[in-house]
């Protein structure tokens, strides 16, 4: 199995050392680098892709949450911080886990194992591409439910679940928007908000702030407005 590539975004040298030591103990993790602020990490991510970010919140220059909101297609994220009050906001941004410093190796292993489970549950590009399929199967209440792309209207994040709205009914599946986004053909479905993915062909109207799909107004995130420029 291929390793999960990751980077550390952390300005405290001791915290960086702890993370590096922990990562070295996990065979399926591959550390690509560490960055003392989010600006340096942004420069790196422009030319490199990784599977996982270990992200501190209180960073110099650009705070961790602000950095995360800027990423149009963020990888899996594990927040590492001494401040518990940001947990709710972190999970609203679909982070995989939230590690409260100081954390033991056992707790770290639980967090990265979640990423491993998510990664292997999503078909790799070498398997059937979403560009060549016209449907996906979702795990809904212990059943595999077939959803046709032609019927899919939009997807909304619901913490650890996604609400998948089609022309026929709605489904609640336990997965993140990042996971389901990887299963959708990119030319037909676009993320327009950190919590919403819409079917472009189902958009009835839009402004700079809102798109309307099947009579429902869906907000456009500030960092996603260029997505609709080509419509």
Domains and CATH numbers, the chain: 4-121 (3.40.50.2300), 130-228 (2.40.50.1020)
Question: How far apart are the C-alpha atoms of 155 and 163, rounded to whole Å?
Answer: 6
Question: How far apart are the C-alpha atoms of 86 and 17, rounded to whole Å?
Answer: 23
Question: How far apart are the C-alpha atoms of 221 and 100, rounded to whole Å?
Answer: 28
Determine how many CB atoms are found less than 10 A away from the CB of residue 186.
12
- Tens of pLDDT, residue by residue over 128-164, are 444 457 898 888 888 889 999 999 999 999 988 999 9
Per-residue pLDDT of the chain (231 residues), as tens digits, is 578 999 999 999 999 999 999 999 999 999 999 999 999 998 898 888 899 999 998 888 888 888 888 887 788 999 998 876 654 454 556 788 888 888 999 999 999 998 887 654 444 443 444 445 789 888 888 888 999 999 999 999 998 899 999 999 999 998 888 788 878 888 889 889 989 999 999 999 999 899 999 999 999 987 787 777 766
The structure tokens listed for 156 are: 């909304």
| The model scores a pTM over 0.75 | no
Question: How far apart are the C-alpha atoms of 135 and 146, rounded to whole Å?
Answer: 7
List the helix and strand counts (H, then E) for the chain: 6, 15
């Amino acid at each position: 199995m291929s390793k999960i590539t990751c980077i550390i975004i952390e300005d405290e040298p001791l915290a960086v050392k702890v993370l590096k030591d922990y990562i070295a103990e996990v065979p399926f993790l591959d550390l690509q680098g560490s960055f003392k602020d989010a600006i340096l990490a942004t420069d790196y991510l422009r030319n490199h892709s990784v599977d996982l970010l270990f992200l501190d919140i209180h960073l110099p220059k650009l705070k961790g949450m602000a950095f995360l909101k800027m990423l149009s297609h963020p990888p899996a994220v594990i927040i590492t911080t001494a401040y518990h009050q940001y947990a709710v906001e972190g999970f609203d941004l679909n982070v995989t886990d939230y590690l409260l410093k100081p954390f033991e190796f056992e707790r770290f292993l639980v967090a990265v194992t979640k990423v491993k489970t998510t990664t292997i549950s999503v078909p790799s590009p070498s398997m059937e591409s979403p560009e060549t399929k016209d449907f996906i199967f979702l795990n809904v209440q212990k059943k595999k439910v077939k959803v046709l792309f032609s019927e899919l209207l939009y997807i909304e994040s619901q913490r650890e679940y996604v609400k998948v709205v089609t022309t026929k009914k709605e489904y609640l599946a336990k997965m993140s928007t990042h996971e389901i986004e990887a299963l959708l053909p990119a030319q037909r479905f676009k993320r327009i908000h950190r919590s919403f993915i819409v079917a472009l062909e189902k958009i009835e109207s839009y402004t700079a702030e809102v798109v309307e799909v099947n009579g429902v107004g869906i907000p456009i995130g500030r960092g996603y407005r260029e997505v609709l420029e080509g419509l």
